[in-house]
Structure 1
Amino acid sequence: MRIATWNVNSVNARLPTVLAWMEAAQPDVACFQEIKCVDEKFPREAFESLGYNVEVHGQKTYNGVALLSKHPVSDVRRGLPGHEESGLDGDDDHARYIEALIEAPRPIRVGGLYLPNGNPIGTAKFDYKLRWMERLNAHARDLLALEEAFVLCGDYNVIPEAKDAKTPDAWTGDALFQPESRQAWRSLKWLGLTDAHEAGGEPAGTYTFWDYQAGAWQRDHGIRIDHHLMSPQAADRFRGIETHRDARDMEKPSDHVPVVIEIED
Structure 2
Amino acid sequence: MKIATYNVNGVNGRLPVLLRWLQETEPDVVCLQELKAPQEKFPEQAINDAGYRAIWHGQKSWNGVAILSRDGNIQESRRGLPGDPEDLHSRYIEAIINDVVIGCLYLPNGNPAPGPKFDYKLQWFDRLTAHAQDLLNRKIPVVLCGDYNVMPTEQDVYKPERWLDDALFRPETRAAFHNLLAQGWTDAIRKLYPTEKIYTFYDYFRNAYGRDAGLRIDHFLLSPELNSRLKAASVDRHVRGWEKTSDHCPVWIELTH
**Shared fold per TM-score greater than 0.5:** yes
Counterpart residue type for residue 95 of structure 2: A
Matched residue SS, 2:168 = helix
Matched residue SS, 1:176 = coil
CA contact (8 A) 1:65 1:95 kept: yes
CA offsets per residue over residues 164-192 of structure 1, 9 Å max, x none? 11111111110000000000000110000
Structure 1 position 2 matched with structure 2 position 2: yes
| Structure 2 counterpart of 1:81 | 82
TM-score by length of 2: 0.97
| Structure 2 counterpart of 1:96 | 91
- Return closer, same or farther for 1:253/1:75 CA change in 2, 3 Å cut-off: closer
Counterpart residue type for residue 182 of structure 2: W
Q: Which runs of 5+ in 2 are unaligned?
A: none
User: Which deviates further from its counterpart, 75-84 or 224-233?
Assistant: 75-84
What does 1:114-129 align with in structure 2 at a 5 Å threshold?
A: 114-129=106-121
1:202: Cα distance to partner? 5.8
CA contact (8 A) 2:198 2:216 kept: yes
Structure 1 position 64 matched with structure 2 position 64: yes
CA contact (8 A) 1:166 1:205 kept: no
| Structure 2 counterpart of 1:241 | 233
| Structure 1 counterpart of 2:157 | 165
| Structure 2 counterpart of 1:229 | 221
Equivalent position to 2:256, from 236, 259, 264: 264
1:236: Cα distance to partner? 2.1
| Structure 2 counterpart of 1:194 | 186
Within 1, Cα distance between the matches of 2:101 and 2:53?
15
CA contact (8 A) 2:38 2:59 kept: yes
Within 1, Cα distance between the matches of 2:229 and 2:168?
30
Runs of 4+ in 1 over 4 A off after TM superposition: none
Within 1, Cα distance between the matches of 2:194 and 2:239?
18
1:76: Cα distance to partner? 2.8
Matched residue SS, 1:153 = strand
What does 1:173-188 align with in structure 2 at a 5 Å threshold?
A: 173-188=165-180
Q: CA RMSD in A?
A: 1.0
CA offsets per residue over residues 114-137 of structure 1, 9 Å max, x none? 000000111110000001000000
Matched residue SS, 1:175 = coil
User: Which deviates further from its counterpart, 232-241 or 183-192?
Assistant: 232-241
Within 1, Cα distance between the matches of 2:210 and 2:50?
32
TM-score by length of 1: 0.94
CA contact (8 A) 2:37 2:59 kept: yes
Counterpart residue type for residue 159 of structure 2: T
CA contact (8 A) 1:149 1:232 kept: yes
1:75: Cα distance to partner? 3.8
Identical columns (%): 50
Matched residue SS, 1:130 = helix
Q: Which runs of 5+ in 1 are unaligned?
A: 85-90
CA contact (8 A) 2:55 2:76 kept: no
1:203: Cα distance to partner? 4.5
Matched residue SS, 1:120 = coil
